[in-house]
Amino acid sequence: MIIRIMGEGQYRAPEALCNELNKIDNKIVALVAEGNAREFRTEFMKLISEIKGKGEALGVEEFLESDIIVPPEDLSFEEAKAIFTGDGIIED
Amino acid sequence: MGLFTRMETVFKSKMNKVLNRMEDPRETLDYSYEKQLELLQNVKRGVAEVTTSKKRLQLQRAKLVLSNEKLGQQAKEAVAANREDLARMALERKAAIQQQVDGIDREILELEKQEEKLIASEKRLSTKVEIFRTKKESIKAQYSAAEAQVKINESVTGIGEEMADVGLALDRAENKTEEMKARAEAIDDLMEAGALDDLTDSRDGIERELAKISTQSSVESELAKLKAEAGKGPEKAKTGVESTGPEEGKEV
Contacts of B154 in chain A (CB under 8 A): 63
Q: Would A92 be classed as within a structural domain?
A: no
CA distance between the termini of chain B: 59
At position B147, the amino acid (one-letter code) is E
Per-residue model confidence as pLDDT tens digits over B61-83: 999 999 899 988 988 888 888 88
Cβ atoms of A6 and B168 within 8 Å: the answer is yes
Q: Is A59 helix (H, G, I), strand (E, B) or coil?
A: coil
Interface of B with A in 134-193 (CB under 8 A): 135, 154-155, 157-159, 161, 165, 168-169, 172
Per-residue model confidence as pLDDT tens digits over B86-140: 888 888 888 888 888 998 999 899 889 889 989 998 999 999 999 999 988 988 8
- For the cut 70, the answer to whether the pLDDT of residue B245 exceeds it is no
Asked if A60 lies within 8 A of B128 by C-beta distance, the reply is yes
Task: Report which secondary-structure segment, H or E, holds A70.
Answer: strand A68-70
**DSSP alpha helices (H): ranges in chain A?**
15-34, 37-54, 77-83
More confidently predicted of B183 and A84: A84
Q: Does B7 touch chain A (CB under 8 A)?
A: no
Q: Does B131 touch chain A (CB under 8 A)?
A: yes
What angle in degrees, to the nearest 10, is found between the helix axes of B25-80 and B145-192? 20
User: Could you tell me the pTM of the whole model?
Assistant: 0.71
Q: Is A2 helix (H, G, I), strand (E, B) or coil?
A: strand
- For the cut 60, the answer to whether the pLDDT of residue B200 exceeds it is no
Per-residue model confidence as pLDDT tens digits over B4-33: 554 455 555 555 665 566 667 788 888 889
Residue B174 CA: distances (Å) to CA of B44, B48, B170, B213: 12, 11, 6, 51
Among the partner residues A8, A64, A83, nearest to B1 by beta-carbon distance = A83
Contacts of A87 in chain B (CB under 8 A): none
Nearest CA to A84 among A13, A18, A17, A36? A36
- For the cut 70, the answer to whether the pLDDT of residue B201 exceeds it is no
Nearest CA to B129 among B223, B29, B2? B29
Cβ-proximal residues to A84 (8 Å cutoff; 6+ apart), any chain: A25, A28, A29, A32, A40
- pLDDT of B5 reads 54
Q: What is the DSSP string of chain B?
A: -HHHHHHHHHHHHHHHHHHHH-SSHHHHHHHHHHHHHHHHHHHHHHHHHHHHHHHHHHHHHHHHHHHHHHHHHHHHHHHHTT-HHHHHHHHHHHHHHHHHHHHHHHHHHHHHHHHHHHHHHHHHHHHHHHHHHHHHHHHHHT--HHHHHHHHHHHHHHHHHHHHHHHHHHHHHHHHHHHHHHHHHHHHHHHHTTTT--SSSSSSHHHHHHHHHHHHHHHHHHHHHHHHHTT--SPPPP-TTS---S------
Q: Would A32 be classed as within a structural domain?
A: yes
Q: Would A17 be classed as within a structural domain?
A: yes
Cβ atoms of B12 and B129 within 8 Å: the answer is no
Mean pLDDT of B149-165: 79
Confidence bin at B189 (pLDDT 50/70/90): confident
Which residue range(s) make up the domain with A35? 2-75
Number of domains chain A contains: 1
B159/chain A closest Cα distance in angstroms? 6
CA distance between the termini of chain A: 14
- For the cut 80, the answer to whether the pLDDT of residue B209 exceeds it is no
Q: Which residues pair with A4 in a beta bridge?
A: A10, A69
Largest interatomic CA distance in chain B: 117
Q: Would A91 be classed as within a structural domain?
A: no
* Average predicted confidence (pLDDT) for chain A: 92
Q: Would A89 be classed as within a structural domain?
A: no
Supply angle C-alpha A64, A77, A27, rounded to 5.
Answer: 70
At position B182, the amino acid (one-letter code) is A
Mean pLDDT of A63-76: 88
Asked if B154 lies within 8 A of A63 by C-beta distance, the reply is yes
Q: Would A81 be classed as within a structural domain?
A: no
Supply angle C-alpha B33, A9, A55, rounded to 5.
Answer: 140
Q: Would A82 be classed as within a structural domain?
A: no
Asked if B158 lies within 8 A of A65 by C-beta distance, the reply is yes
For the CA atoms of B6, B8, B15, A1, the dihedral, rounded to the nearest 10 degrees, stands at -150
Q: Would A48 be classed as within a structural domain?
A: yes
